[in-house]
C-alpha cells in the first residue's frame, strides 16, 4: 500500500473542503428558496456561522498563542455598535434615536455593510492594540481578569448617558439591516475563516505557536514576545469585532445587555468543546453548541402523559440536560471533540483502509 506524500494529502483535503463548501451552498440555496418553511433552521445555521467566526478568533489568541483572554464580549460590542451605527438606514434613525437624538456627525453617515464590518473590526483592533500594551505583560489568570474587566467597562460605557447620541445608551439600537439570505452570512463567515486559517498557517502563525509552546525558546530564536502577543491579540480582536457586526446583523437589534460576560463564556465553551488549538474544532463546536441548545428546547415545554404533567419539563430544564450532555462529552473527549487536531480526510481514509486490511481477505 503506497503512502501519500504531503502534497497529495494537502490536495485531497482541499478538494474535500471545496466539496463541503459546494454542498453547503447547495443546501443553503434550497433553504433560502423555502425560507418560510425552514426559517428556524436558517436562524440556527446563521447563528452557528457567526459564533464559528468569533470562536476561531478567540482560538487564535487562546489556543494558538497561549494567552488566556476573556474580553471577547467587549470586542464584539465594539464591532456590533460600529456596524449598526454605520448601516442603520438614515430614514429610520429618528425612530431609533427618539429620546436624545443622534450626533450630527453621524446623522447622515452610512457605508456599505462590508465596509461597516471591516470598520467594526478596525475599531476593535485599535482598542486591543491600546489596552494590549499594559495588560499583555500579565500572565494567565491575571490576563483573563484584566480582559474581562475591559469587557465590562466597554459595556458600561456603551450604556452610559454620555454615549446616548452615539450608541443610544441603554435604549440600544434597532432597524439594523439583516442578512438578505443565509448565503450572505455564509460568505462573510467563510471569508473571515479562510483569512484566519491563512494567518495561522503563515510564518506569523508559527510565531504564535512558538510563543505558546515555550517563550524562552521562542525568545532564543529571535521572536519578539511582546510584539507577537500584541499582534495575536489585535488580529483576534479584529475578527471578533467583525463577528460582533455579524451578530448585530443576525439579531437586527442590540443593546448593552447583549454583550454580557455570559456571551464570552459561551464562546469559550465552544473553543474548549471543539478543541483548543483546533481550527475545525472551533467550527464544529459552534454548530454543536448552538444547534444542541435549540434541539433541546422541547424540554422547556410542559409534557403531559396520560393526563399527568411531568414536573421536570418546565422552563430552564433544557439547560440542565444540555449541561449533562456537555459533562458526558468532556468525560469522553477530555481535549475537546477534535483534541487540538484538525479534521483531516486523509486520517478518515487511513482508518478506512486499516479497517479493510483487518477484514478477512483484505488486500495489503
Q: Which residues contact 346 (CB under 8 A, 6 or more apart)?
A: 4, 9, 12, 13
Lowest-confidence segment of 27-31, 51-55, 316-320 by average pLDDT? 316-320
Residue range 138-158, pLDDT digits in tens: 887 899 999 999 999 999 999
Task: Establish if 361 belongs to a structural domain.
Answer: no
If DSSP codes are grouped into helix, strand and coil, which group holds residue 125? Answer: helix
Let me know if residue 305 belongs to a domain. Answer: yes
What is the per-residue pLDDT for 5? 61
Report CA torsion sign: 57, 61, 66, 67: negative
Classify the phi-psi angles of 340: left when phi > 0, otherwise alpha if psi is within -120 to 50, otherwise beta.
left
Q: Which domain holds residue 160?
A: 6-346
CA 143 – CA 136 distance, rounded (Å): 7
The CATH number given to whatever domain includes residue 57 is 1.10.3470
Report yes or no on 363 lying in a domain: no
The model's pTM: 0.88
Domain-embedded: residue 299 = yes
**Which tens digit of pLDDT belongs to each residue from 50-100?**
999 999 999 999 999 999 999 999 999 999 999 999 999 999 999 999 888
1 in a structural domain: no
Domain count, the chain: 1
Other CB atoms within 10 Å distance of the CB of residue 122: 16
Amino acid at each position: 500500500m503506497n503512502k501519500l506524500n504531503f502534497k497529495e494529502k494537502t490536495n485531497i483535503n482541499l478538494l474535500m473542503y471545496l466539496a463541503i463548501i459546494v454542498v453547503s451552498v447547495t443546501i443553503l440555496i434550497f433553504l433560502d428558496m423555502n425560507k418560510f418553511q425552514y426559517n428556524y433552521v436558517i436562524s440556527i445555521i446563521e447563528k452557528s456561522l457567526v459564533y464559528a467566526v468569533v470562536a476561531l478568533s478567540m482560538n487564535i489568541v487562546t489556543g494558538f498563542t497561549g494567552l488566556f483572554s476573556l474580553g471577547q464580549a467587549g470586542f464584539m460590542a465594539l464591532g456590533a455598535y460600529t456596524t449598526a451605527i454605520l448601516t442603520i438606514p438614515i430614514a429610520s434613525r429618528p425612530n431609533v434615536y427618539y429620546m436624545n437624538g443622534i450626533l450630527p456627525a453621524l446623522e447622515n453617515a452610512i457605508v456599505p455593510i462590508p465596509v461597516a464590518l471591516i470598520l467594526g473590526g478596525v475599531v476593535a483592533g485599535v482598542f486591543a492594540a491600546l489596552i494590549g500594551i499594559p495588560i499583555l505583560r500579565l500572565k494567565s489568570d491575571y490576563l483573563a481578569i484584566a480582559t474581562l474587566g475591559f469587557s465590562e467597562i466597554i459595556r458600561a460605557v456603551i450604556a452610559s448617558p454620555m454615549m446616548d447620541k452615539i450608541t443610544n445608551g441603554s435604549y440600544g439600537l434597532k432597524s439594523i439591516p439583516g442578512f438578505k439570505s443565509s448565503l450572505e452570512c455564509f460568505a462573510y463567515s467563510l471569508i473571515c475563516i479562510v483569512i484566519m486559517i491563512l494567518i495561522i498557517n503563515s510564518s506569523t502563525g508559527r510565531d504564535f505557536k512558538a510563543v505558546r509552546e515555550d517563550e524562552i525558546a521562542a525568545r532564543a530564536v529571535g521572536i519578539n514576545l511582546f510584539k507577537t502577543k500584541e499582534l495575536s491579540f489585535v488580529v483576534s480582536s479584529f475578527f471578533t469585532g467583525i463577528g460582533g457586526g455579524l451578530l448585530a446583523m443576525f439579531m437586527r437589534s442590540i443593546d448593552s445587555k447583549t454583550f454580557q460576560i455570559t456571551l464570552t463564556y459561551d464562546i469559550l465553551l465552544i473553543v474548549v468543546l471543539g478543541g483548543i488549538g483546533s481550527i475545525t474544532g472551533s467550527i464544529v463546536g459552534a454548530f454543536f453548541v448552538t444547534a444542541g441548545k435549540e434541539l433541546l428546547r422541547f424540554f422547556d415545554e410542559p409534557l403531559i402523559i396520560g393526563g399527568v404533567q411531568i414536573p421536570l419539563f418546565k422552563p430552564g430544564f433544557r439547560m440542565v440536560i444540555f449541561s449533562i450532555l456537555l459533562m458526558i462529552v468532556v468525560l469522553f473527549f477530555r481535549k475537546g471533540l477534535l483534541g487540538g487536531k484538525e479534521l483531516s480526510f486523509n486520517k478518515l481514509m487511513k482508518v478506512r483502509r486499516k479497517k479493510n486490511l483487518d477484514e478477512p481477505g483484505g488486500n495489503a
